[in-house]
Structure 1
Amino acid sequence: MKRRHLLTTLAAASFAPGISFAQDAKPLRIVVPFPPGGATDITVRALQESLVRILKQPVVLDNRAGAGGSIGMAEVARAPADGLTLGVATLSTHGVNPAVYSKLPYNPIKDFVGVTEIVKAPGVVVVNPTALPVKDFADLVKYLKANPGRVSFATPGNGTIGHMWGELFKSSTGTSMVHIPYRGAGPAINDVLAGQVAVYFDQVASSLPHIKAGKLKALAVSWPGRLDVLPEVPTYAQLGFANNNDPSWFGLVAPAGTPTAAVDRIQQAVAQALQEPAVRERLAGQGLYPSGTTPKEFSAQLVREIEKMKRVAAYAKIALD
């Protein structure tokens, strides 16, 4: 089935309207380390048609899900460094996983070269206003300090981005909450909506409908400035917690040793695609904000993210193997 999906994607890319390839045009394979349909997968699919046109070669998406993205990243690390294989790096694969697992099937720095960040995804801390009737961020911090260990926060599971954001919140504010890990985002958000758990750390895109409906109250967002969709909600930085202000992100990496010319070619193609209105509109519909960085900038970003997540893991004593 996986091979059939691969061939179907290749066929769709190869015969895109108005596109012709040289006989020796080899496909560019992009390994997506998460299942189809998620934000990571949607991000790359939004770019696929544009990249086919710009690069003038087939672009194949290969979903290799499992182990929090580790299976897909290991596949990229083992691939030939010939400029024909890329992987989608995320805050999970190149931030959280290296911080909470002592043994990974890939080295997040040595096995890859950064190509570019594609998008950023703002985060948000929300509360169930019925379960925890606090009026703003300062009120939440005050309540937690007065009631240490009596409030819980939900996450999609141990070692997830939501878990790390929650622990970073605790360390930054000097508060204490009980972590309740669920088996996925669906069960976690459902229990928060039901009032079984009071606090949730999420990406804005998935919580926004519930915030707009008044079922959840947003207290702070991780973003450089206030969001157009939540103009009344301050950023962490505006509240004095700049260390919590980094959003989530998705980007591209290539196997270590990939020629600089090949890396630069792909980075430039992504930058061009991200300027297309149709691509930007499709990403915005998923709560994803086009960014685009140079290979040097993205490689440096990966190092920073790992070090930051390692500090959070050490504080919270998170070790999953």
Structure 2
Amino acid sequence: MRLSRRALLATPALLPAGALAQGEWPQRPITMLVPFVAGGPSDITARVIASKLSGILGQSVVVENRPGANGAVAGQVLARAPADGYTLMTGSIGVFAINAALRPNLPYNPLRDFQTVTLAVTTPNVLIINPAKVPATDYAGVLAWLKANGRNVSYATSGVGSSEHMTMELFKLRAGVEATHVPYQGGAAAATSLIAGDTELTFQNLSGVAAHIQAGRIKPVMVTSERRNPTIPDVPTAAEVGLSDFVVTSWQATMAPAGLPAPVLAKLEAGCIQALRHPESVQRLSQIGFDVVASSAAEFRRFQEAEIDRWKTVVDRANIRAE
């Protein structure tokens, strides 16, 4: 699902720096949870937001990494936190959508227990191969090779239920091919396995593999964005290679506990949007392949609901089970 231009424009008015510090909230520092280790997409996004939001709110915003259980550890902390605006979380599509579709015993419900604040950024996934292992130079060649050898092919991901895992399973369903899933602990490890030749191909977030592509260590054959990405302008989109309705993005977003008072939500929503749209934030996030969205809380909620429904269909059709 994509956000409409009209929806993106229907966001709260941006506020002058320091304007939010004049009200009753906030009166003390804010904690921004990150459900993964430092250095990943969620962590980078959280720190970009926090660096600007501190000045906007007039209180420090402290990023705290709480990794574990594919985001469930931090998710449970957020769900149990007071709905007072002093605990937030910036996390991924997995934490806020895919986990709900994949894990029936999840210790939090991302719709019931969380209040949306903003959909911060998106990035497409890219189908990449090890050119020494896959005798093909374009998507058509990769597809033909997969159809002939799929049962002997392995693909790497950053873990069960990750955006890359779900994208490949959707691709397998749509393209009618087979491949064996090999989950790793993070996208960096998955990319390393591909470069080393331990696996043959993978979908990965473009932001995480752009440097490897530019260095020629891996070869991109298709990107899941609506339009070609300027980072890899020669790589066709899914639609261009014949896969219609295959626009898939990985995304990062900010949430608060459910029940947040409306005045606090309004300040948070406007503050996060302003932080994300700051020229320095846009430049930093664009450099690593992110598109800044900075949506309204209401638009993000509709987007989240659609994403959960979409990935539940993939989980059910592909018979995917959490390991």
TM-score, length-scaled by structure 2: 0.87
Bigger shift: 138-147 or 252-261?
Answer: 138-147
1:237 aligns with 2:244: no
1:96 to 88, 95, 98: 98
Deviation at 1:69, TM superposition (A): 0.8
Correspondences of 1:59-70 after superposition (within 5 Å): 59-70=61-72
**Residue 61 of structure 1 aligns to a residue in which SS?**
strand
- Residues 1-20 of structure 1 correspond to what in structure 2 (within 5 A)? none
- AA partner of residue 87 (structure 1): M
Rounded Cα–Cα distance in structure 2 between residues aligned with 1:66 and 1:179:
21
Count of residue pairs the alignment pairs up: 304
SS of corresponding position for 1:238: coil
Is 1:264 the counterpart of 2:255? The answer is no
Q: CA deviation at 1:110?
A: 0.7
Contact 2:187 2:208 in 1 (8 A): no
Secondary structure of the residue aligned to 2:110 is: coil
Structure 2: runs of 5+ lacking an equivalent = 1-17
Aligned to 1:79: 81
Structure 1's 113 and 21: CA in aligned 2 closer, same or farther, altered over 3 A? closer
Give ranges in structure 1 of 5+ residues lacking alignment. 1-17
Structure 2 SS opposite 1:57: coil
In the alignment, is the contact (CA less than 8 A) between 2:21 and 2:57 conserved in 1? no
- Is 1:303–2:305 an aligned residue pair? yes
CA distance in 1, matches of 2:273, 2:21: 22
Match of 2:131, SS? coil
| Contact 1:155/1:181 (8 A) holds in 2 | yes
- The one-letter amino acid of 1:80's match is P
Contact 1:39 1:286 in 2 (8 A): no
Distance in 1 (CA, whole Å) between partners of 2:157 and 2:317 is 18
Deviation at 1:21, TM superposition (A): 6.6
Per-residue CA deviations over 1:224-251 (Å, capped at 9, x if unaligned) read 3111111111112333334431210111
| Cα shift at 1:216 | 1.1
Structure 1 segment 174-185 matched on structure 2, within 5 A: 174-185=176-187
1:293 CA drift (Å): 0.7
SS in 2 for 1:147: helix
Q: Percent identity?
A: 36
Give secondary structure in 2 for the equivalent of 1:153: strand
Q: Look up the equivalent residue of 1:67 and give its one-letter code.
A: A
Contact 2:45 2:90 in 1 (8 A): no
The within-5 A match list for 1:162-311 is 162-311=164-313
Check 1:260–1:238 CA distance in 2 against 1; reply closer, same or farther (3 A cut).
farther
Contact 2:118 2:253 in 1 (8 A): yes
How well do the aligned residues superpose, as a CA RMSD in angstroms? 2.2
Task: Identify the range of structure 1 (181-190 vs 138-147) with the bigger mean alpha-carbon deviation.
Answer: 181-190
| One-letter amino acid matched to 1:71 | V
Cα distance in 1, alignment partners of residues 86 and 183 from structure 2? 38
* Residues 118 and 237 (structure 1), Cα distance of their counterparts in 2 relative to 1, 3 Å cut: same
